[in-house]
Structure 1
Amino acid sequence: MLATLARTATHRPRTVLFLWFLLLAVGLGLGTRVFGDLTSTVEDVPGSESVVADDLLARLDPDGDDFTAVVTGGPVRDGDVRAAVSGAVTDVRESPGVARVADPYTTDGLVAADGRALLIPVTLKGGLDDDAEEDAVGDAADRLREIGAAPLSDGGRVDVAVSGDPLLGEQMGGRAQEDVARAELITLPAVLVVLLLIFGGLRAAGLPLLVAVSGVAGAFLTLFGFGQVTEISVYAVQVVTMLGLGLAVDYALLMVMRFREERARESDVARAVRATVAQAGRTVLFSGVTVAVCLSGLVWFPSPFLRSMGLAAGAVVVVDMLAALTLLPALLTLFGGRMTPRERRLRTRGFRVPGLVGADDGERGEPGAFFARLARFSVRRPLAVAAAVVAGLAVLALPVFGMRIEIGDARQLPRDTEARQLYDAVHGHFPPGTAADTVDVLIRPGAEPDPERRIRALPGVARAESERLSDGTTLLRLTPPGSADGPAATGLVERVRDLRGAEPVEVTGDAARLVDFRDMLAERAPWAVLTVLVGLFALLFAFTGSLLSPLRTLLTTLLSLGAALGVVVWVFQDGHGAGLLGGEGLGALSLTAPPLIIAIAFGLAMDYELFILARMRESWTSGPRAGDHRAAIVAGLRSSGRVVSCAALLLAIVFGGFMTGGFSPILQIGLGLTLAVLIDATVVRMFLVPATMALLGRRAWWAPPRLRRLHQRYGLSETAAPETP
């Protein structure tokens, strides 16, 4: 297959470029329409009690969704403000699709005690279709925002923020689009600058960037395609774009560096391209399959959010892999002859970049000498290096044992968003519990009258209100202390479910959704982890022909991943330094962050492991020192260390660019992936991998004779290697 792709790219490079240009145009034209169909709901688990009860409530409750406007910034009882508010309330009440609007001046609790804020709750009619609801919400929200134009008696203005479930998806989708655009404006120029430092030439530096842009277009098109059959989360745009951009640069960097090595030995460009695809292309292919296997664990979860993220991210990995194996060889065929075939030392008035551009110190300037010295250091003291690294990473991973996840509230959003402004105004001017989401309990017909009394008497119920629905079901709304999905609320859900026994009682609401989501993770996570680990073990065996190397790889990767996740918990859950990153300590992580960090970071870590193992195995199976395990470790890190370091630096820039938006879940994911990449590419791959490989010795490549023969027949490797010594 690789030979066919290489021949096609070198024989018909312009045809390949034309096809990718079409994909780029369609991806950026049609694919970007996904921004208009994003959802902020991620916690629903199909078939769970909370979802079933919510569907029943939607059928029985004549009212539809509701949203709220908050007016702040001055004395809200001022005559001009009062006139503006009353006029807006009257107009919104008469709007099509609106069921009712509470008058804040005649309804208790809607004007703050300090007289400087008021709330205007709006309830929509039930049974509206999507277009009718969108029109009703848009017209009502625009009319309420006009209150901000009313002048105060002192000449000032009041501030108006409108948000709620019908508006939140649109607001978060708009914010996601802004964040993606900002991240691309920051990361693409920064990536180009680093690539210039790495390659020392604009042509070589521009090729990975072209592949990366194609990968982003493919990411948008993939999301748009999945959006036709399932919901796409607001998080998916940022995470999948982040992954698509990072992996495209990763794979292109490996291919271009290998091409320059081949050009140093081969004057014919087409032959050098085919050799590059045959050699490094195997690693790219295997890496893409490995990352896709890591992401396939998300498909085990029934949550549409996690499942769609796994499918979409896996598809993006395939797009990036195909771009590296087809688009990049075509570009190299057309322009590779103008790239210098030798490693260049970047010098700008004496400035040098050691370890990145071939200007490594010592050993007569031999490329990779810096990484060879790191490998020798670890090989000479394997036990001490392994013990020090493992201890340090274990300390960083300790906060993971106290990790908590929540759906989260508007504090996850930047302070300049309407939803966050409404949240801050409500919590700054009104008593705790105002406008808080309730724990909704449905007591079905046939239940004894006793459950309602006992439920009302449960600890953790700050307020309880009940109403009778059309079929005789009693809706009991319980207001817990704290946030809508905090420990008090989730504890109340569990107490109600424990108390009901065999009675026909169902619980829904944000806290109930979170409880069901946690139960789903606990039930399905072992199967997802088992699938990924078995799949990775089989793939790594196919790549290395060893039984012990895959086991060592999985253990060291889990350790670096735990360290990165531990730092995220320490920062965003416990609040240590979150403000420096534009966030704040929330007491818990977003429920979206841990699964995505684990799946994506695990896949990226396999990237670097494969880059290094490919070169180590190549030295172990061939060459003048074949069979010398210490020499193979040093030679492997000398050949691959530069690629791994450059790729990690570029990925860190990409992930860091997505941390500029201030949206807490993306900050958590960005920090987790940045740390995972940097820890894995430096501490783990440069020290722990050589040390553990040295401790294993020749056993690192061991397999029983029968499995060794199986690998020789069906396995994959960087080169067609002879039998293992």
Structure 2
Amino acid sequence: MTNVFARLGRAVARRPRTAVLVWVLLAVVAYLVAGVGVTGQTVFDRLSTGAPAVPGSESDAADAILAGSAQGGASVTLALSGVAPAAAGVAEALAPQRDRLAAVAGVGSVIDPLVLPGGVANPAAAPLVARDGHGFLVVVELRAGVVGEAKTTALHDVEGLLRDTPSLLRPVAPQVTGVVGGTPLIVDAITGQVEKDLRTGEAIALPVALLVMVLVFGGFLAAAMPMAGALASIAGGLAAVLGLSYVMDVDASVVNVVTVLGLGLSIDYGLLVVSRYREELHRLTDADGGVGSRRRRGDGAVAEAVERTMATAGRTVTFSALTVAISIAGLLVFRPDILRAIGGAAVAVIVIALATALTLVPALLVWSGRRLARPSVLARVPVLRGVLARTSDVQSEEGAFSRLAGRVQRRPWWVMGGALALLALLAAPLTHLELRNSGAELLPRGSDQVTFLRQLADQYPSAAAPAITVLVQASMEQGTALAATLAHSPHVRSVDPPAAVGSYVQIGVRPDTADPAGAVARDVVTEIRAMRPGYPVWVTGQAAHELDFQKALAQRAWIAGGIVALATLVLLFLMTGSVVVPLKALLTNVLSLSASLGVLVWTFQDGHLSGLLGFTSVGGIETYVLALVVAFAFGLAMDYEVFLLSRIKELYDGGATSDDAVRLGLQRSGRIITSAAAIVIVVFSGFVAGRLLVIKEVGFALAVAVLVDATVVRVLLVPATMTVLGRWNWWAPAPLRRLHERLAITH
């Protein structure tokens, strides 16, 4: 074995301690920098949130104009309930607290209905008084120039004082309650929830994944090796996101998405490498008379097993990582920063996962020596002995998967038809897919910020921001005329009075719907954008952002899809020498992906599992979730396709018939695919236990995608189609066959 992977295996086998120490150092540094913030800020301090924007779009341009023209700074609001603002003693009780708020460094103004001339009788006080008369708002705004640490400190102090206000009013208003909210607090709530969900997901996923690997390998030693690679990949992923945050705005959800991918792939690749090593070690130690009783440095069998493992499993892992990276790199084609950030960080973590599988895990295998070929301590436990004998077997040529493949091969057309019918049934909900770009709606029900926003919408409709904002570069007279026209538009409930914003006029439009991003709001945005009043007009708001995001996806989806499809075809051709197998892989993966998305729509858009999973449906699927699930799920499907095809092709090249290669290849790789899928499902399901809606959607969708692919597709549909095609699986035109002979990367 003289290929590059075998040479890498030899190099690692000669210096295992160096490889391990380098990875320990890199992981510790990455955790300290990204997680602890020894350089000043942690990765969580640098995250942003909000409705995903498209740079250069109309809504993004309008937001930039409004931000540049803003006279004040960030604001925080206290919504009081159970107190009439004109009640006796309220003004006197509130005055000292108002003075304390005004004295906070950085505060520009403190507004409530009692501070206005004439109090609640002043018409300007109306937006600050609750609709039912039993509540009012206290709005604290910072000065425009307050930024950085001064802004953070001021907001923290203001929030604390506002939260204390209800207790100060209780002597004169015993029933008073209050909730504090505002954009800065919503951002903090989402980024804080991301950090909590990350810990929750890891706390669930890591122990259960370790348990599954113990069953797969029959002991803790072998199971710990992929886990070591996973921990290093998580550290590297956090560092990659931190680095990206200095180049572009990184949404809070990126951390969880990238971490879960790194965790899943590292375990996948480590699982394949360790399993192949044990297989090779068994062959070599059986040949030289046994496994021995002690690990010996310089053990020739161990070094050779590592070399053979890298020449086979190392090649497979590299092909797999390339296909996954290419699938996810398609996200870099799109304009929205959130997709580019996820794509860039995910590619980085895939490279790290691959590097750990090719260097760290083999180094740990060398240290373990021949111990992995011996039964573990757990195998001595009577109850576990029988279980581990089945789950950790790496030597049998016949077993459950070969028998299953045999049954499939006896009735391939029936199996293929049944599998396709099931996938079509699961994909059916896609016919009524709705896409959304949500903001605070992503927070869990019961969150203070969700309560605040609902109270604002119910009791202070005039104080709540309009769902649609129209910005025009025109005179106030022209803006007033446009506002009058908009007021008579279908599905418009009301229009706010035009207001001057620098050299622009701002008009708030309130659609006749409670859903700021639903179909009605989108129709109103489309209608306004279709107007041609003769001067520049920009429309922004949640519905406008959603339309711009969908347009940006549609414009470049074909480019991303074309790049991914072409690269996948080329890689699988170089691996198999066939043009049929790559085409079939693309088609089956599309079917698997459609089924997974259908289940996602049925669950989260239609809300069928809302009680079980603990979420409130927003009436659609987050637009960027759809994009990244397509990229990630396609990549993971290709991951398992490569695992299976590499074994089948290895057997076919060794002289087996096409049917025998499929049957034995499924036996040899089925355990690994099923085990890897089970672990990845556990990892993704751990993040479903989090409370942030977008993380739930991603974790659930990818868990379902892996489940469908590893069961219906890999062990039923693929063997059935390959049986039907027979020798045609390996067909390629003569010119391409000659090209493959020159360029193929083989064992």
Range with bigger deviation, 658-667 or 445-454:
445-454
2:690 counterpart residue number: 661
Residue type at the aligned position of 2:61? V
Distance 1:632-1:134 versus aligned 2 partners, 3 A rule: same
The answer to whether structure 1 residue 691 and structure 2 residue 709 are counterparts is no
Aligned match for 2:411, one of 381, 396, 400? 381
Superposed, 1:173-212 pairs within 5 Å as 173-212=191-230
**Are the counterparts in 2 of residues 207 and 331 from structure 1 also a CA contact under 8 Å?**
yes
Distance 1:703-1:678 versus aligned 2 partners, 3 A rule: same
Distance 1:486-1:92 versus aligned 2 partners, 3 A rule: farther
Residue type at the aligned position of 1:5? L
The answer to whether structure 1 residue 27 and structure 2 residue 30 are counterparts is yes
Residue type at the aligned position of 2:514? G
1:558 counterpart residue number: 590
Q: CA deviation at 1:511?
A: 2.2
Residue type at the aligned position of 2:591? L
Aligned match for 1:242, one of 260, 272, 277? 260
Which TM-score applies when normalising by structure 2?
0.90
Residue type at the aligned position of 2:544? A
Q: CA deviation at 1:544?
A: 1.2
1:455 counterpart residue number: 486
Q: CA deviation at 1:98?
A: 3.5
Aligned match for 1:56, one of 58, 61, 65? 65
The answer to whether structure 1 residue 217 and structure 2 residue 235 are counterparts is yes
**Are the counterparts in 2 of residues 86 and 103 from structure 1 also a CA contact under 8 Å?**
no
1:723 counterpart residue number: none
Range with bigger deviation, 466-475 or 277-286:
466-475
The answer to whether structure 1 residue 357 and structure 2 residue 386 are counterparts is no
SS at match of 1:56: helix
Range with bigger deviation, 137-146 or 567-576:
137-146
Superposed, 1:647-658 pairs within 5 Å as 647-658=676-687
CA displacement, residues 601-642 of structure 1 (integer Å, 9 cap, x when unaligned): 11111111001001111111104xx2x111111011011000
1:629 counterpart residue number: 658
The answer to whether structure 1 residue 138 and structure 2 residue 147 are counterparts is no
Output the CA distance in 2 between the equivalents of 1:367 and 1:341.
19
Output the CA distance in 2 between the equivalents of 1:179 and 1:374.
39
Which TM-score applies when normalising by structure 1?
0.92
2:315 counterpart residue number: 282
Range with bigger deviation, 370-379 or 495-504:
495-504
Structure 1 unmatched runs, 5+:
720-725
CA displacement, residues 389-411 of structure 1 (integer Å, 9 cap, x when unaligned): 11111111111121112122433
Output the CA distance in 2 between the equivalents of 1:518 and 1:433.
30
Superposed, 1:53-132 pairs within 5 Å as 53-72=62-81, 85-104=94-113, 106=120, 107-114=125-132, 117-132=135-150
SS at match of 1:302: coil
2:469 counterpart residue number: 440
Q: CA deviation at 1:165?
A: 1.9
Q: CA deviation at 1:358?
A: 4.2
Q: CA deviation at 1:22?
A: 0.8
SS at match of 1:162: strand
Output the CA distance in 1 between the equivalents of 2:491 and 2:96.
40
Residue type at the aligned position of 1:295? I
Output the CA distance in 1 between the equivalents of 2:382 and 2:113.
70
Q: How many residues align?
A: 710
Output the CA distance in 1 between the equivalents of 2:389 and 2:666.
12
2:273 counterpart residue number: 255
Output the CA distance in 2 between the equivalents of 1:353 and 1:377.
24
Q: What percent identity do the matched residue pairs reach?
A: 38
**Are the counterparts in 1 of residues 467 and 510 from structure 2 also a CA contact under 8 Å?**
yes
Distance 1:366-1:500 versus aligned 2 partners, 3 A rule: same
Distance 1:568-1:177 versus aligned 2 partners, 3 A rule: same
2:21 counterpart residue number: 18
Output the CA distance in 2 between the equivalents of 1:505 and 1:75.
41
The answer to whether structure 1 residue 586 and structure 2 residue 618 are counterparts is yes
The answer to whether structure 1 residue 230 and structure 2 residue 239 are counterparts is no
Range with bigger deviation, 679-688 or 587-596:
587-596
**Are the counterparts in 2 of residues 68 and 163 from structure 1 also a CA contact under 8 Å?**
yes
CA displacement, residues 667-702 of structure 1 (integer Å, 9 cap, x when unaligned): 111110000001100111010000111111111111
Range with bigger deviation, 448-457 or 526-535:
448-457
Q: CA deviation at 1:341?
A: 5.1
Range with bigger deviation, 631-640 or 59-68:
59-68
Distance 1:456-1:617 versus aligned 2 partners, 3 A rule: same
Q: CA deviation at 1:715?
A: 1.6
1:300 counterpart residue number: 333
Output the CA distance in 1 between the equivalents of 2:607 and 2:741.
52
**Are the counterparts in 1 of residues 186 and 440 from structure 2 also a CA contact under 8 Å?**
no
Q: CA deviation at 1:273?
A: 0.7
Output the CA distance in 2 between the equivalents of 1:247 and 1:357.
21
SS at match of 1:479: strand
Q: CA deviation at 1:426?
A: 3.7
CA RMSD, Structure 1 to Structure 2 (Å): 2.6
**Are the counterparts in 2 of residues 70 and 162 from structure 1 also a CA contact under 8 Å?**
yes
Output the CA distance in 2 between the equivalents of 1:405 and 1:164.
26
CA displacement, residues 317-340 of structure 1 (integer Å, 9 cap, x when unaligned): 000000000001110011132222
1:641 counterpart residue number: 670
CA displacement, residues 151-207 of structure 1 (integer Å, 9 cap, x when unaligned): 735997855432322222222111111111122122111111111111111111111
Aligned match for 1:417, one of 436, 439, 447? 447
Distance 1:28-1:94 versus aligned 2 partners, 3 A rule: same
Output the CA distance in 1 between the equivalents of 2:379 and 2:277.
19
